[in-house]
A and B are shown apart, each in its own frame.
Chain A
Amino acid sequence: MKTLILMALFASTAYGAHDMSKMDDAVKKAASYCLIINRDSSDVNLYDMATGKSNLIFLDKFAAPHMGMISPDGRTLVVSGSSDDTIYLIDVASMKVTKRIKAYGEPEHMDITPDSKYAFCGSMQGGVVQFIDLRSGEVAKAIEGFSEPHGYTTLPDSSKAYISNLGAHEVTVVDINRLEVLKRISVGAPSEPSTLNPDQYLSGINGIINPTMTLDGKLIYAADGDFGLVAVIDTATDKVIDTIPVGSQPWRGYASPDGKYVLVPVNGEEMIAVIDAKSHKLVSKMPAGAGMTGVNFVNGGKKAYVTSHDDDTVFIYNLDRMAPAGKLFFGENKVLETATTDAQGRFVYLCSSTDDSIIVIDGKDDSYRRIMNVGNFPWGSHIMGSNDNYCH
């Protein structure tokens, strides 16, 4: 028995050490890629930012990938195929699809726990979030009862996940250790105007796009599209501690890397709202564009780029002076989707879907270059270690 225990300890230690060295290499390699999700060519591109080489990984016909993420250990790439209802697990080192997991209709967005244990991806159609054990590649649990699960955030200690519902006005808290719903949090007032005017709400519900966590993990900012407000949730108690009216049709919050601000595109008013992340006060609203889909920070959070999907324009803001600082127009019908800032917080990789390109903006001087032919209809991007990884 003693021998058995010793053998087991030896085996685990040896495996652990070997695993660790592999993990370091894996992280280093994975961090050198800008993952590009190509919706129409049903592939993903692990674009090497240093060499400029495209590494295309084909999924399946008509997969229409929507979002992808690389696990923090650098080993697994998870991609949602929204049209073929499949979640793909890809080995980053070999760039091969290792597992296809059937989803519950329109899998779109996801998150991966910081310890790389679970990836969880929600099916918009079925209202189900699947927690996938990344070590075994199996679904550990599928939790039902969501209404268009759309946005995901995990606490830094991997203890809880916050999932926003676009088809309702609530954020669901999941205990990751037990994989059970811990709490459902309503944003807005206990009595909603929807009780008075069902006609409007029967034509569409614009709930919460994403729960956005502050850098310290203490607060969640959840913008509700119908109510025109941002709810502030304390992650220690999971209670709404403040609500901030920001204007018509707020999109979602984006936390600046210096921890000072949360920026919220207010699409109904074509404004960008700036909220002080600590005091929860609206400090500024500045003019922006139509159909904004993202915010990226550079220069340590002193400058913000706001992507206007409808105006084909990126609006620039100086957050030190709290003032607009110009705009970048990329040409008519060069439809902009979303962007990712690199881990150093200098370059922004912006998807331009209609011309199959990525626009790389230098945060230092706002100059930019175009990388053509990255795949058909680049829809989203992802870089490991970036502060600004998001989808739409």
Chain B
Amino acid sequence: MTLRRLIVLAAFGLVPFTAAAAADLQKQIDQLRDELNLIRHTYEPTEPVEVIKQVTEWVSPSGELFTVRQKNDVSPTDGSKLSERVTYRKLKFSRREAVSEKIDSAVSSAINGHVVVGMEVVGVYQNIVGAGDVVDSSGSTHSANRGAGSGQLDITLSGKPMRNTLIFVDLNSGAGPGIDGLAPNEVGLNANYLSGSGAPTIREAWVALHGPKRVLGLQLGIVDLTSAFDSNLVANDETTQFLSGSLVNSPLLQNPANGPGAILHLNGTRASLRLGVQDTLGAANDLADNLYAIAEAAMLYNFFGDGQVRVWARQQPRGAEQPDQALGFSTDRRVSTHLSTFLRYAKSSYVEAFDPFSGAHYAINKYDWAASGGVEIGNLSPRHSKDRIGLAYGRNVLQTGDLDDFAEAYFRTVLTPNFSVSAHAQGIFNRVRSATPTENSLFSLGLRTQLSY
């Protein structure tokens, strides 16, 4: 008989409410009170917890999904073959969370709110194949069948110290001169960034401010002008796209190594304008006399796919000498989901010097013009949607009339979202030289790994 029923029956006089019954009732009340106190002292509120768990599933080619294995690994719906896979699923439930777990979570979120740390490691190995380039006095080609490696480590810090403000620092260290050290060339089989070596340096350190409408922006500090100018969707990143320096940026850009500078951004709906200046000599010199200056106008267009065209003009100071100018464009076009193309061209002015002793006239700026173009093929299958194939061809012509034709093909596969490997085949040929009529062609095979998170 329950306590409630006992009380009700007693109230109606249906059971004798004796002293024994009262004692029994008191005993039950005491027992309940004890249990309530126990609950009060031991109770901890449960909290919703989110857990991501690894699960095994079986999937048909058309996407039908089963969480348990089907007979003979065949779909009972349409008889198609099922593939087993391991994936992840978010599950939510309530549980008691330890105080230490809560503190860890709070500390973690507090850190995330201030500075974001990133890391990128790139390693490259390239090997000259075939005869190599120049024959030396002993009759042997010093670069034949020789290989070289290089690696770069970048640690990046970024954060938003105040509204409409971004701060960014890139600490870089590299090792190995790369293949260009073995077989010097004008094309750059190994782009500048990848062939640097030496002590850790601050590669970039800048503050970017933008207006509330994000139309106007200003970037100040140690800047990398190539990140803002002559950019390209297909050929602009030596860590994920083409390795050759001339396929990362136009060689006529002739931008100084990263240093103090500023970039002004003006962003419209379809068009944008950028102005950049950078010191070329160093702090001990008058900044205003040695400024590298560049301007770029970019326009987006949508006609049989999407494209962007950028036209830039730059002036490079030469101290007391006449500065030289160059004009170029960089355009890319996404023809379809699978195919994108690019084209680059730049032309430089001719700055002449005169040697009174020999009476010779010669150009003091190196390049006359450079052009390159190519394609990127991607999204080959849903399973490998981030894999890319790149093909490009280009020509660099110097003021002396020397020229190099070059080409590169690569295949990059993304093994995990943070790790990719790419194989590269590069060639420099038609190497016309005014001093020595021709140089041997250079062919290289390379392998690049990239890890970033």
Nearest 6 A-B pairs (CB), nearest first?
A: A167-B90, A239-B62, A240-B63, A189-B383, A197-B416, A245-B379
**Contact call A201/B269, Cβ cutoff below 8 A:** no
**Contact call B418/A168, Cβ cutoff below 8 A:** no
Please count how many residues in chain B sit with their CB below 8 Å of the partner chain's CB atoms. 47
**Contact call B302/A323, Cβ cutoff below 8 A:** yes
Nearest B residue to A200, CB-CB: B417
Give the CA-CA distance A237 to B63 in the complex, in Å: 11
**Contact call A126/B64, Cβ cutoff below 8 A:** no
- The contact string, 1 if C-beta is below 8 Å from chain B, for chain A 122-156, is 00111100000000000000000001100000000
How near does chain B come to A272, taking the closest CB pair, in angstroms? 11
Q: Is A3 an interface residue (CB 8 A)?
A: no
Q: Is A327 an interface residue (CB 8 A)?
A: yes
Q: Which residues of B contact A127 (CB under 8 A)?
A: 91-92
Query: Which stretch in A86-94, A226-234, A257-265, A372-380 binds the other chain?
Result: A226-234
**Contact call B65/A184, Cβ cutoff below 8 A:** yes
**Contact call A192/B214, Cβ cutoff below 8 A:** no
**Contact call B66/A184, Cβ cutoff below 8 A:** yes
What are 19 A-B contacts with C-beta separation under 8 Å?
Answer: A148-B90, A167-B89, A183-B77, A185-B63, A186-B57, A186-B59, A190-B61, A194-B87, A195-B86, A201-B88, A207-B90, A227-B382, A229-B385, A240-B62, A245-B337, A245-B379, A245-B382, A284-B302, A286-B300
Q: Is A326 an interface residue (CB 8 A)?
A: yes
Given contact pairs A193-B417, A245-B378, a sample of 6 additional A-B residue pairs in the complex whose CB atoms are under 8 Å apart: A167-B89, A167-B92, A184-B65, A185-B65, A200-B417, A281-B336
Give the CA-CA distance A188 to B65 in the complex, in Å: 12
**Contact call B337/A126, Cβ cutoff below 8 A:** no
Q: Is A101 an interface residue (CB 8 A)?
A: no
Q: Which residues of A contact B381 (CB under 8 A)?
A: 189
**Contact call B63/A187, Cβ cutoff below 8 A:** yes
Q: Is B45 an interface residue (CB 8 A)?
A: no
State whether A195 and B63 are in contact (beta carbons under 8 Å apart), knowing that A148-B92, A229-B382, A286-B302 are contacts in the complex.
no
- The contact string, 1 if C-beta is below 8 Å from chain B, for chain A 310-336, is 010101000001111111010110000
**Contact call B92/A205, Cβ cutoff below 8 A:** no
Q: Which residues of B contact A285 (CB under 8 A)?
A: 306, 334
Nearest A residue to B214, CB-CB: A311
B residues 63-84 near A (Cβ < 8 Å) are 63-67, 77, 83
Q: Is A179 an interface residue (CB 8 A)?
A: no
Q: Is A169 an interface residue (CB 8 A)?
A: yes
Nearest A residue to B418, CB-CB: A197
**Contact call A327/B87, Cβ cutoff below 8 A:** no
How near does chain B come to A302, taking the closest CB pair, in angstroms? 15
A residues 187-235 near B (Cβ < 8 Å) are 187-198, 200-205, 207, 227-229, 231, 233
**Contact call B63/A186, Cβ cutoff below 8 A:** yes
State whether A323 and B270 are in contact (beta carbons under 8 Å apart), knowing that A184-B64, A202-B52, A282-B336 are contacts in the complex.
yes
Give the CA-CA distance A198 to B418 in the complex, in Å: 11
How near does chain A come to B385, taking the closest CB pair, in angstroms? 5
Q: Which residues of B contact A43 (CB under 8 A)?
A: none
Nearest A residue to B52, CB-CB: A202
**Contact call B48/A125, Cβ cutoff below 8 A:** yes
Q: Which residues of A contact B89 (CB under 8 A)?
A: 147, 167-168, 205
Q: Is A158 an interface residue (CB 8 A)?
A: no
**Contact call A281/B337, Cβ cutoff below 8 A:** yes
Q: Is B22 an interface residue (CB 8 A)?
A: no
B residues 381-427 near A (Cβ < 8 Å) are 381-383, 385-386, 414-419
Q: Which residues of A contact B77 (CB under 8 A)?
A: 183
Give the CA-CA distance A197 to B86 in the complex, in Å: 11
Give the CA-CA distance A187 to B65 in the complex, in Å: 9
Give the CA-CA distance A168 to B87 in the complex, in Å: 9
Nearest B residue to A238, CB-CB: B64
- The contact string, 1 if C-beta is below 8 Å from chain A, for chain B 297-310, is 00010100110000
Q: Which residues of A contact B87 (CB under 8 A)?
A: 168-169, 192, 194-195
Most chain A Cβ neighbours within 10 Å, of B59, B334, B379:
B59
Nearest A residue to B91, CB-CB: A147
How near does chain A come to B200, taking the closest CB pair, in angstroms? 27
Give the CA-CA distance A222 to B47 in the complex, in Å: 32
Give the CA-CA distance A106 to B365 in the complex, in Å: 67
Give the CA-CA distance A148 to B67 in the complex, in Å: 17
Give the CA-CA distance A203 to B112 in the complex, in Å: 14
B residues 434-449 near A (Cβ < 8 Å) are none
State whether A167 and B91 are in contact (beta carbons under 8 Å apart), knowing that A105-B48, A189-B382, A240-B63 are contacts in the complex.
yes
Q: Is A287 an interface residue (CB 8 A)?
A: yes
Q: Is B54 an interface residue (CB 8 A)?
A: yes
**Contact call B385/A195, Cβ cutoff below 8 A:** no
**Contact call A287/B48, Cβ cutoff below 8 A:** no
Q: Is A49 an interface residue (CB 8 A)?
A: no
Q: Is B213 an interface residue (CB 8 A)?
A: yes
Q: Is A244 an interface residue (CB 8 A)?
A: yes
Q: Is A170 an interface residue (CB 8 A)?
A: yes
Give the CA-CA distance A1 to B400 in the complex, in Å: 111
- The contact string, 1 if C-beta is below 8 Å from chain B, for chain A 5-40, is 000000000000000000000000000000000000
Q: Is B4 an interface residue (CB 8 A)?
A: no
Give the CA-CA distance A331 to B66 in the complex, in Å: 49
Q: Is B85 an interface residue (CB 8 A)?
A: yes
Q: Which residues of A contact B65 (CB under 8 A)?
A: 170, 184-186
Give the CA-CA distance A32 to B297 in the complex, in Å: 48
Q: Is A83 an interface residue (CB 8 A)?
A: no
**Contact call B337/A195, Cβ cutoff below 8 A:** no
Q: Is A54 an interface residue (CB 8 A)?
A: no
Q: Is B212 an interface residue (CB 8 A)?
A: yes
Nearest B residue to A287, CB-CB: B300
- Which of B63, B85, B92, B306 sits near A191, CB closer than 8 Å? B85
**Contact call A286/B306, Cβ cutoff below 8 A:** yes
Q: Is A55 an interface residue (CB 8 A)?
A: no
How near does chain A come to B398, taking the closest CB pair, in angstroms? 38
**Contact call B59/A147, Cβ cutoff below 8 A:** no
Give the CA-CA distance A227 to B415 in the complex, in Å: 14
Q: Which residues of B contact A167 (CB under 8 A)?
A: 52, 89-92
Q: Is A41 an interface residue (CB 8 A)?
A: no
